Amino acid sequence: MKRNNVRMMVDLHSRWSPLFAIPKQAIEEGEIGEPYSAYYRLNDIKWVATDLLPWAAKSSILWFLGYHSVDVLRWLFDDEVERVYAVSREGILKGEGVDTADIYQTILEFRKGGIATMENGWITPNTNPNVNDMKLNITGTKGMFNIDPTHSQMMERFTETKADRPDLLVRHFIHGKPKGFAYESIRHFVDQLASGEPFHVTVDDAFNTTMVILAIMESAKTRTPVKVVY
């Protein structure tokens, strides 16, 4: 890419979410000290695998949500993953004709000593108020953040046919214009292309996250800890 003067950014859009950008800034300012441990759950309801994504059987929840989970944790810890230990379970989705794993649970060990537990699944009941089931705790040496948008009741909608909680963070429209962090990352890409300034997400970020996901898959298969090879 450098030889041909090609610029690339993978859309790891969680970095534009206030849910993660605010803790990131607090960590950089030393407010909660050095990141010490974390727990991150990012799941989807079954409908995503059975109906929304026709290619779900050719992929997995790790490539769909686990990728963003690993990137968020790498970003908050400002560190690379040294080793992973993962387990997975399957059967529910296969019973509905989607040949992919139901859930992965993973322990990540970072080079500087930080540890994180990560859960990614596609089997949250469809009656869950949100498509995503998410919870994040990050604990530092001087404090912590708890993030739980799934159970936020800031806005609820009730009609004759459904009850839900409208998306206020990821993708929505205000006065006809797209808003939310999934759009902000695309705006950033276009703006940086025009200005020539560096992207907030580097090619190395995407590569290193990919190598962590591959290590998680290998660990879940062998049921043994796996060192991440970069």
Whole-number average pLDDT of the chain: 96
Q: Which residues pair with 43 in a beta bridge?
A: 133
108: three-class secondary structure by DSSP: strand
Its sign, for the CA torsion 48, 53, 55, 61, is negative
The whole-number pLDDT of residue 89 equals: 98
- Across the range 119-147, mean pLDDT stands at 96
**Tens of pLDDT, residues 28-80:** 999 999 999 999 999 999 999 999 999 999 999 999 999 999 999 999 999 99
The whole-number pLDDT of residue 19 equals: 96
Of the listed ranges 31-35, 136-140, 168-172, 211-215, the one predicted with least confidence: 168-172
Distance of CA 16 to the CA centre of its chain: 12
Q: Are residues 43 and 124 in contact, defined by beta-carbon separation less than 8 angstroms?
A: yes
User: Closest by alpha carbon to 91, among 117, 115, 123, 114?
Assistant: 123
**Tens of pLDDT, residues 149-192:** 988 889 999 999 988 889 999 999 999 999 999 999 999 999 99
In the chain the domains, ranked by start, together with CATH numbers, are 32-154+202-227 (3.30.360.10), 167-199 (no CATH)
Q: Count CB-CB contacts under 10 A for residue 167.
A: 15
